[in-house]
Amino acid sequence: MARSMTPDDMKKFIIETLGLEDIEPADIDADAPLFGGGLGLDSIDALELGIALKRTYGVQTSGENPATREHFRSVNTLVALVSERG
C-alpha cells in the first residue's frame, strides 16, 4: 500500500531517528544532499536511517545496490522511496 508522506514528515523522522539536537524541520533543505553536506551526517547515520526505515515503514534497502545511494541523496528522494515501497 502506498503511503502518503510529506517532506516535513521525513524531516521529523530523520531528526528523531538520529537525535539531531537543535535542528528543526525548517533547517533542512528537502532537496539538498543529506550526507557529506551541511548536516554533517556520516555513514553510521546512513545505516541507522536504513534500519529505521525498515522498522517503521517496511522499506528494504541494500548497501550493495547502487540505487540506494540515490535513494538516500535527500529528503525528497527518501520520501519518494517510502511512497513507492512503503
Partner 1 sequence: MTTFTLPVLGASAWFEQDPGGLEAGFLDLACGKPCLDEVEPLQRRRLSPLARGVLHCAGRLGGKGDLRMVFASRHGESARTLGLLRDLAAGTELSPALFAMSVHNAVPGLLTILRGNRAACTALSAGAESFGYGLLEAFAAWKAEPGTPMLLLYGEEPLPELWTPFVPQEAAHAVGVLLGAEGRPLTLRWDPDGRGPDGSGQSRAFLEALGAGAAAWAGPTARWEWSLA
Which residues between 42 and 81 bind partner 1 (CB under 8 A)?
44-45, 47-48, 51, 54-55
> Least Å distance between CB 45 and partner 1?
7
CA 30 to centroid of chain Cα atoms: 10
> Residue 14 or 82: which CB sits closer to partner 1?
14
Of 37, 39, 44, 34, residue with least CA distance to 69: 34
Residues 6+ apart with CB under 8 A from 57: 3, 82, 86
Handedness of CA 32, 36, 41, 47 (dihedral sign): positive
Choose the stretch contacting partner 1; rule: CB under 8 A; options: 5-13, 40-48, 61-69, 74-82.
Answer: 40-48
Choose the stretch contacting partner 1; rule: CB under 8 A; options: 1-9, 19-27, 59-67, 68-76.
Answer: 19-27
CA 83 to centroid of chain Cα atoms: 12
List residues near partner 1 by CB under 8 A.
18-23, 39-40, 44-45, 47-48, 51, 54-55
